[in-house]
Structure formats: C-alpha cells, structure tokens
Amino acid sequence: MIGKDKLYTTLEKVMANSKADQTEAVFLGSSTGLTRFANTHIHQNVAENNTTVYFRVAIGKKLGVASTTSMSLTDLKRCLRAATDIAKRQVENPHFDRFPEAQDYPEAETYFEKTARFSPKQRASKLKRIFSKTINNNFDAAGAFTTGGGEVAVLNSNGLRAYQPYSTASGNIVIMGDDSSGYVNFVSHNIDDLDFAALSNTALQKCKKTKKPKEIEPGKYEVILEPAAVANLLEWMNFIAFGSKAFQEETSCLAGRVGEQIMGQNISIYDDALNPAGVAFPFDLEGVAKKKVDFVSDGVANGVVYDTISANKENKQSSGHAIMPDESGEGAMPMNVFIKPGNSSLDQMIANVEHGILVTRFHYINGYLDTRKALMTGMTRDGTFLIKNGKLSGGIKNLRFTDSMLDVFSHVAEISSESVSIPGWWNALGCNRVPAMRVSEFNFSGKTDF
C-alpha cells in the first residue's frame, strides 16, 4: 500500500507539468495472493503486485489516454506527455465538456487488515479442512482462493481528489467424484464474513447427491435457480442491457422500453454500490460518487448507468459508473448489481415443485443470440438435480438451455428471502448480490453426455 498522502503528492507533482487544458490521473494498485488447488492438493501459490496509472487529458474537446505500470517520476511524466500527444491527434468528442468537479463521498468500509494480509499458510489452513472432508469421502477438490488488498485514487485538475483502500477474499470450490460434482463460490471485503465449513459442506453434499446422474429429455421445465445460477444470467444482463453503450446503441432490451412492463411484477434489479451487504465501493474511476440506479422496478424498465460522457449524450448526470479510462469508449457499466429478495426459503421453493429441475450454476453462456430479447444459451454444471413431488430425487446429466431472460424473469413464481454475494467480472470492486428463484417455465434445448 502506497497510501493516500504519498499518492496525492506524487501524482499532483506530475500533473503540475501538464500542458493540457484538463488533466486526470487514475491509480489502481493491488497486492494479492492466489492459491490454486486440484486433486485435493495445492499445486500453485502466486503473489502478484500490480500498479497501473492512467493519465487522461483534454485539449479542448480532444481526449488522450496513456498508462504506465511504473511509479517513477520520470516514467509518470513520460506517460503524461504521451497522453497529451495522443490528444493532439484525436478528433473532437462533441459529448465531452469537462472532467468531474470535486465532491464528497459517503463512507464505505472496504478495507480489513486481516484480509489484506492473509497469508498462503492461512489460505492453506482453510483448504486443509476442506481436503479432509473430500479425502474421507473419496472425492477430489479443485478451485482457487484469492486474498489481498489494494487502493484506488482519482485526481484531476478541477480539484477532484478521491482515495479508497480495499481488501478482498474470493474464490470457488469444486468437489468432484467419478460422475458427480458440487460447486460454491464466494466474495467479500472481509475474510471473517466467509464460513468455509458451510461453503465446503454445500459443495460436498451436492457431489454426494448427484452420483449416478440420470439422463432426461430436454424441454420446458419448472426450475429452481440457485444464487450462482441467477448471478451467471445476471452478469450477462449487466453486459448486454444495463450499461450506457448498449442502451444508447439500442441493443439493450431496455432501450425504447422505459416505462414498459418487461418482467414480472416481483422483479426489481438495481445497482447499489454503497450497500454493505455486497462489495461496497464509494466512487467510480472518474471519481464520481456512486449512486443507486434502478434498472427494473417491479418489472418495469427504468434505465441504465452512466459515466460523464455517456450522460452528456442525454443531458443527464453521471451515475458514478465509469470504468477504466482506456475503456471509456465502452460506456458505463454496473459493478454492484442486486435483485430484490422475496419471502420464501430454498426448501419451501423446492417443496412447491412437483416435477422440475434444480440448477446450481451455468457455464459457457452466450448472451449475444438476440440482445433485444436478452436471449441466451448455456449449460448447467456442478449440481443439477431432478425434483419430484417437492423433493430432490437425485442428480441428472447436464442440459443446455436457450431462453429469453425477459421471459424467464416474467415467470418467477417465488424468490428467496436470503441473498448471496457472487463474484462478478469486477470482483474486488463489486459483485452480484442475488437470491434463489423458482421459475415456472424454463426452456432446456438440448442435453449433454456428462
């Protein structure tokens, strides 16, 4: 950790030499440890320190971005000059006005010393207990476990100063038998929030109960989607529907439908980066304070997230969802997406299914089939069960699904009261916080041999 004062002093010193009209500096630093395991053995420990500094400058309405992984003053100044040279050669961006002004940020507890300094030995200690369970049951364990910390700083020539340290613990556990498997994944700023005994027991029980999976025919079934499965679908929705670029290019299923009922009345989806139940973070990578954004409210399309430039296109204000400066052309993206919970339990939902399927998670999802319909395809994995007369009756071989998420979220019969944080593409700076769902109709279009 470099720390706020030293980061500000160093970057301000460099920015003082800028020849541009406006200058922005973004610092991303992290120090993480990764433990990988397979066949119930740790086979890799990796320690990684990453530092990236972006300079984005404006000459009039021309923007240039350059980055460096060095914190030496010489390299930082060279990087700033490169960004300035790039800006001079750009065409004007009609939607750029100015970088954000100085602002206040809400407090967010994002850094826990124990998590940031969690050692390989400590990670191994957690895994050893899991390995004991798998060995006793003649199963294998595989997966990854990451801990560490980092810091983010954003400064610009308009007086904006933003700094936040963070810690992270995340990973996944797969427990495998000859013909069965079980899966869990996890993420938190605080390692003490994670119950590894409960997590491993969940994966272990799934592996036990899906032995000798049966083959069933594809078709439309009532399904229970556990939180990991819901998050897999939601992550693709984030990418194809809830960002500003997809909305403005009218490829999003929300575009042109704001105010219309597009999902069931029991569905509310929103981004809430300040909710401590998720993986909170107070500002985006332009230094704009994050705001809660409703994508779908009681099934009605509401809107999307924005950064400064995409917001200017619609005469709106940024919602605090800018991503890396060199990816600003991709528009704003949500990082902390929630689905409003319901009032059922997972056991209650299973009991309400006469003939259906429980899905632990999906993989190999393709969300580009028809983005206007949020049509996706993918496969079940690591714990797919047949449900008969309100009880899990054993494992089944995996199935391929093809369905519109607008239809799926229009047929949600029950939602669990409990939500789970599931790692997303942004991981340390966000997650998907989702419940389980009972969907009355879900289309499985094919089957697999495993």
pLDDT of amino acid 428: 76
Cβ contacts of residue 128 below 8 Å, gap of 6+? none
Domain boundaries 4-206, corresponding CATH code: 3.30.2290.10
Q: How confident is the model at residue 298 (pLDDT cuts 50, 70, 90)?
A: very high
pLDDT digits (tens, 9 = 90+) for 215-260: 999 999 999 999 999 999 999 999 999 999 999 999 999 999 999 9
pLDDT digits (tens, 9 = 90+) for 77-135: 999 999 999 999 999 999 999 999 999 999 999 999 999 999 999 999 999 999 999 99
pLDDT digits (tens, 9 = 90+) for 336-355: 999 999 999 999 999 999 99
Residue 300: enclosing H or E segment and its boundaries? strand 300-301
Q: How confident is the model at residue 326 (pLDDT cuts 50, 70, 90)?
A: confident
Q: Where in the chain is the domain with CATH 3.30.2290.10?
A: 4-206
Q: What value does the mean pLDDT take over residues 385-396?
A: 97
The alpha-carbon radius of gyration of the chain (Å, integer) is 23
Give 69's DSSP letter.
Answer: S
CB atoms within 10 A of CB 91: 8
- How far, rounded to the nearest angstrom, does the alpha carbon of residue 51 sit from its chain's CA centroid? 21
User: Measured between alpha carbons, how far is 424 from 59 in angstroms, rounded to an integer?
Assistant: 36
User: Measured between alpha carbons, how far is 67 from 76 in angstroms, rounded to an integer?
Assistant: 9
pLDDT digits (tens, 9 = 90+) for 265-284: 999 999 999 999 999 999 99
User: Measured between alpha carbons, how far is 230 from 223 in angstroms, rounded to an integer?
Assistant: 11
pLDDT digits (tens, 9 = 90+) for 432-446: 999 999 999 999 999
pLDDT digits (tens, 9 = 90+) for 192-222: 999 999 999 999 999 999 999 999 999 999 9
Length of the chain in terms of residues written: 450
pTM of the model: 0.96
Determine what percent of the chain is predicted with pLDDT higher than 70: 100
Q: What value does the mean pLDDT take over residues 6-28?
A: 98
Whether the predicted pLDDT of 424 surpasses 90: no
Beta carbons of 265 and 433 less than 8 angstroms apart: no
Beta carbons of 417 and 266 less than 8 angstroms apart: no
pLDDT of amino acid 427: 67
Q: How confident is the model at residue 360 (pLDDT cuts 50, 70, 90)?
A: very high
pLDDT of amino acid 450: 73
Determine what percent of the chain is predicted with pLDDT higher than 90: 96
